[in-house]
Amino acid sequence: MEQRIVYLSSAYLAPISWFSKLLTYDKVIIEQYDHYIKQTYRNRCNIAGPGGVLPLSIPTVKPVSLKCSMKDIEISDHGNWRHLHWNAIESAYNSTPFFEYYKDDFRPFYEKKYHYLLDFNEELCRLICELIDITPHIERSIEYKTTFDSNEYDYREIIHPKKDFREADPSFMPRPYYQVFESKHGFLPNLSIIDLLFNMGPESLLVLVKR
């Protein structure tokens, strides 16, 4: 049987729809030759804070060219973002059932300086896969493809914070799970994978599988 291959953009603490693709396809290609675009999941994630959805964005060094590849995008130290992101994550999730259990796995990412955004995202993804207990076959792209075979699926620009996943990706059907602030805001679908992990712990995989 032919392998089903999905193409995804790199993502910072990617949303649940992104991680669902890791379970749906036989092989995952993370795009590294796309032109970097701001206000995408490449440097941004959405978490659930006391006030509702809270976006967190990693500042990047302004590229020399507008056509700079994702693989060359450098992380900026501007605005003490590591401290701010970790404080926001801790504030949002310290009352969840599993934050104490996982926090020491995530904290080092906000203490160590990574040079390239792609490397930072990749290492975080590797950790999350380990914690959820999945072993997807993930590779980086070797070129930027614009045409695809019948067994290849392009989600690089479909999974996007500015697009309604219900319309852009109808194959993804989020399954509700326990959220700390649900009584205040209702269930918030397709947040960062850490929202699922900190709320559901080892049961995160069951939610992903039954999406």
pLDDT digit string, tens, across residues 141-194: 999 999 999 999 999 999 999 999 999 999 999 999 999 999 999 999 999 999
Which pLDDT belongs to residue 211? 53
Which pLDDT belongs to residue 111? 96
Average pLDDT over residues 70-96: 96
Residue type for 156, please? R
At 178, phi and psi to the nearest 5? -65, 130
Which pLDDT belongs to residue 104? 98
Average pLDDT over residues 193-206: 97
pTM (2 d.p.)? 0.95
Burial class (CB in 10 A: 0-12, 13-18, 19+), 17: buried
- Specify which residues 46 forms β-bridges with: 55
Q: Inter-axis angle of helices 117-132 and 193-200, to 10 degrees?
A: 30
With a pLDDT cut of 70, the percent of the chain lying above it is 99
Which pLDDT belongs to residue 63? 86
Which pLDDT belongs to residue 86? 98
Average pLDDT over residues 39-58: 96
User: HEC profile for the chain?
Assistant: CCCCEEEEECCCCCEHHHHHHHHHCCEEEEECCCECCCCCCCCEEEEEECCEEEEEECCECCCCCCCCEHHHCEECCHHHHHHHHHHHHHHHHCCCCCHHHHHHHHHHHHCCCCCEHHHHHHHHHHHHHHHHCCCCCEEECCCCCCCCCCCEEECCCCCCCCCCHHHHCCCCCCCCCCCCCHHHHCCCCCCEHHHHHHHHHHHHHHHHHCC
Tokens of 49: 């804070």
| Alpha-carbon span 10 to 41, nearest angstrom | 7
pLDDT band, very low/low/confident/very high, at 67 (cuts 50, 70, 90): confident
Which pLDDT belongs to residue 167? 96
